A and B are shown apart, each in its own frame.
Chain A
Amino acid sequence: MARRIAFQLNGAPAEVEADESASLLDVLRNDLGMTGVRFGCGLAQCGTCAVLVDGAEEPACALAVGAVEGRSVTTVEGLGGPEDPHPLQTSFLELQAGQCGYCLSGILIGAKALLDRNPDPTRAEIAKALAWHLCRCGVHNRVMDAVALAARRLREGAAA
């Protein structure tokens, strides 16, 4: 049964009329206009649909919208835009960490979750945190370098 479901989306209140079992990915893309959240498998196996729910990384394809009621959801659009990019987005562009870029929405979210809990990750820690995210174009090394660069900038910013 469709009903009203409210939650915080990218820092602002959001509300949808939806079946509570509807996939969060579908609702974000089709009802709330967050098309940056990507469909890759629908089976929690690829990481393209990753979002933050109360700061923790989750595959939106495997979450029912009812499960985020009253909670806070962040998508890639919520990290920053062209005018106010997040340091991760800036460092990804600076190091040209992307080819087709289809994996990037989810990877940026995964990297944000990592840096929030570990501001100074090693290469191995970055690799482990991102291991469930697939990238077929092979930009893994650039991505790991860009995450490390953003981490350094964020630490320096915090210290300043």
Chain B
Amino acid sequence: MIPPALQANPELGRWVRFEPDGRARIAFGKMEYGQGAATALAQLAAGELDLPFARLRVVGAATGDVPDEGMTVGSMSLETSGLAVRTACAEVRARFLAAAADKLGCDPAELSVRDGAFLRGGAPTGEDYWTLAGAVDLIRPATGEAALKRPDDLSVVGDSQPRLDLPPKVFGAAFLQDIVLPGMRHARVLHQPAPQARLKSLDEAQVRHAVPGVDILIEEAFVAVICASEHDAVRALGAAERAAVWEGAGELDPALAEPASLKSLPSESFAAGAAPAERSNRRRISATYAKPYISHASLAPSAGIAWFREGRLTVWTHNQGVYPMRALVARVTGLDPSAVEVIHAQGAGCYGHNGADDPPAEAAVIAVRRPGAPIRVQWRREDEFGHAPVGTAMLIELSAELDASGRLVDYTAEIWNTPHTWARGHSVVETALKPLDGPPPTAPARRLPDGTRFSGGLLNAIPSYDIAARRTVEHVIDPPPIRTSSLRGLGGPPNTFAGESFIDELAQAGGADPLAYRLSMISEPRGRAVLQRLAEMCGWERRGEAGSGHGLGLAYDRHRDRGAFCACAAEVDVEAEVRLVRLWCACDGGLIVNPDGARNQLEGGMIMAASWLLKEQVKLGGAGVASTTWDDYPILRFDEVPPIEIELLNVRDSRPYGLGEISAGPVMAAISNAVAHALGVRIREAPFTREKIAAALLAN
């Protein structure tokens, strides 16, 4: 079978080519932004081709020659792209083997490949990929007929190869933000306070007085200032901000920042799963969990560059996909996609759909109106916090029925959220050029075969246990009160936070140990193994009485019910605030291509999710987001990050699972359970701030 990404880009030569300088050119359509995707994919290619890693050259993503693999999302690069890369490379190797056999007059079965050279009976033949490059036509579609190697035969795979992208980053290079083009001009965009806001007036003279020579571009509600120097652009933006008068921006009720408000907003509802529970004398337990809107909070405000010359537009972006960016840019400029080239350069980690798509789209709009010079648009910190999409708030009502023995037999999750990928494919420049009349248009909703809508909100909605009857009810609020889009794991981590905290409540209700309670409901051996190993790692048997101020908690899930198995534990001290003492993670992610990269991803996900749970909430005020600086939006700091232990199980399994988002949910729930253990009372709404802790203790 040909993997979908290879089907979409069937020409073998787009994936692999052997170049005259003795290197193999490897290309794929997934973006590197520090998650190690490029290095791991290159390891898979080297393994299938039997090439030393050092002989690979991985080309950067750009429209044109490089395979179109859409967006780099869902931490799926290794699962989806990995299979395409392997299939293409296996076929290329088979074709070269056939060509070598032909030339040597032998059976291909007599030949093997080592370090890119073809051996016969283990002895050199003088032939390698490069001597035969002229004899093998790679400008042909893949057939998918070549067999993939067994994981144990993939050299390089399973090695902790140092990341290809890291060295420049310690020497001060590597980012889109570093690109300087000849004659480049610096632009800043004055953003609409809200998508429906119109520009009533802007006193241009005032701006020109502040910065003589500034080029001011105004079209509908789109306002850009363009200067020769960044210094001037910054000052011109400040002047434009003071000189602009907006109308129709409206006011957002700050209470909409609270998850409880979701219930008051219009929504479409979808029910799925088992029929409503029949009335019985079973014990029923319910609880409501919540998490607020969360910012991606990338460390770099987004940037983009666009250059329009002789009817052709070139765009530099650090977003998640060059081909989707080409479609967006073509739409907002009215250019034909064939006249647009998009080149990827690295930016700060994005963790989903942050502001990355916006500045390049804005730069493109400016560039076609100001042809000739490259236009660089740099967002401010306030723009990134205030105008980039945020992860949606969620309200999660759970209820469960326990049979006489305390066993969980019936589970319902009722969820309120806005679509997790609502703003996908859209940019703020669109509403600026065409301010909205009334509410924003509904983004195209993805319908599933059963007629329900895929919002991202039901991922891991039901805990990963053997539960006889399970059902979900989802209320999808569209349009959302603020711009929401994908954040690492979509609904998965919040659902696991809620569900796995609730499982602890159920265990407690039945007087059971949380670990034993979970193990009694997992028949999948890989899941059991992960949880048992975790219990050893964290010293579960030393767990003391609840309410001592010191807590130990754990949690488990199988990612999206079909991916990696992950369990986390947390040890905390709680006084006025939660202090993390230590975190643990045991993970079965299947075939591990790069163990060090896998650990880095798992640990990063744990720290980010701990930060979400303990600290983060987007605040609303005025016409939009009110938390626009790091002071208003604190994240976990060096002196708050605990030591973390991670163990990988089953690393030579046949297939790899994406690992980038799997540790987030389990770690949130583990901390939540540890806090409940420490306090003897439970907090059910993130973030677990001082105020929430005080309130929970008081309510007790």
Contact = CB atoms under 8 A, between A and B. Distances in A.
Interface of A: 19, 22-23, 26, 29-30, 33-43, 45-46, 48, 75-77, 80-82, 85, 89, 92-93, 96, 98-105, 108, 124, 126-128, 130-144
Nearest to A99: B34
Contacts of B404: none
Given A41-B381, A128-B639, A134-B637, A103 B299 contact: yes
Given A137-B349, A138-B607, A144 B638 contact: yes
A105 B170 CA distance: 6
Nearest to B379: A39
Interface stretch (B17-25, B70-78, B226-234): B226-234
Interface in B618-645: 629-631, 635, 637-639, 641, 643-644
Given A36-B171, A41-B381, 17 more contacts: A19-B231, A36-B178, A40-B381, A77-B171, A89-B170, A96-B166, A99-B34, A100-B34, A100-B346, A101-B34, A101-B170, A102-B298, A104-B170, A127-B638, A136-B297, A138-B605, A141-B644
A77 B172 CA distance: 6
Which bucket holds chain B's interface residue count?
A: 35 or more
B170 A43 contact: no
B297 A82 contact: no
Contacts of A80: 171
Residue among A29, A103, A137 with the highest chain B CB neighbour number at 10 A: A137
B690 interface: no
A36 B349 contact: no
A118 to B, nearest CB: 15
B638 A140 contact: yes
A136 B348 contact: yes
26 contacts: A23-B231, A30-B230, A35-B180, A37-B172, A38-B177, A39-B300, A40-B299, A40-B381, A41-B301, A43-B629, A43-B630, A77-B171, A82-B171, A93-B170, A96-B160, A99-B34, A99-B600, A99-B601, A104-B170, A108-B170, A127-B639, A127-B641, A135-B299, A135-B638, A138-B605, A138-B608
Contact of B630 (A98, A134, A137): A134
Interface in B34-54: 34-36
User: Which 10 A-B residue pairs are closest in the complex by CB-CB distance?
Assistant: A36-B172, A101-B169, A138-B607, A100-B34, A138-B604, A102-B348, A100-B349, A99-B34, A45-B630, A140-B641
B173 interface: yes
Contact of A133 (B171, B178, B606, B638): B638
A133 B638 CA distance: 8
Given A76-B172, A81-B171, A136-B351, A141 B234 contact: no
B347 interface: yes
Contacts of B266: none
A134 B35 CA distance: 18
Interface string B347-366: 11101000000000000000
A34 B172 contact: yes
A85 B171 CA distance: 8
Contact of A96 (B163, B351, B635, B643): B163
Contacts of A75: 172
B307 interface: no
A133 B34 CA distance: 18
B175 interface: yes
Contacts of A38: 175, 177, 300
B118 interface: no
A9 to B, nearest CB: 13
A134 B295 CA distance: 15
Interface in B287-305: 297-301
B60 to A, nearest CB: 15
Nearest to B605: A138
Contact of A26 (B231, B349, B641): B231
Nearest to B631: A45
A130 B177 contact: no
Contacts of B346: 100
B95 interface: no
Given A48-B300, A89-B171, A99-B34, A39 B644 contact: no
Contacts of B174: 101
Contacts of B163: 96, 98
Of B160, B162, B603, the most chain A CB neighbours within 10 A belong to B603
Contact of A99 (B160, B604, B606, B638): B604
Contacts of A124: 639
Given A22-B231, A96-B600, A139-B600, A35 B177 contact: yes
- The residue in A34, A124, A133, A140 that gathers the most chain B C-beta atoms within 10 A of its C-beta is A140
A52 B272 CA distance: 59
B33 interface: yes
A39 B299 contact: no
A139 B604 contact: yes
B370 interface: no
A141 B638 CA distance: 8
Contacts of A82: 167, 171
Interface in B572-612: 596-597, 600-601, 603-608
A45 B629 contact: yes
A101 B347 CA distance: 9
Report which residue of A26, A77, A100, A131 has the largest number of chain B beta carbons within 10 angstroms of its beta carbon: A100
A16 to B, nearest CB: 11
Given A76-B172, A142-B600, A39 B641 contact: no
Contacts of B298: 102, 136
B212 to A, nearest CB: 13
A40 B638 contact: no
A22 B232 CA distance: 10
Contacts of B378: 39
Contacts of A137: 34, 299, 349, 604, 608
Contacts of B175: 38, 102
Contacts of B234: 26
Contacts of A126: 638
Contacts of B606: 138
B380 interface: yes
A92 B378 CA distance: 29
B349 A136 contact: yes
Interface in B318-354: 346-349, 351
A133 B299 CA distance: 10
A100 B605 contact: no
B86 to A, nearest CB: 24
Interface in B162-199: 162-163, 165-167, 169-175, 177-178, 180
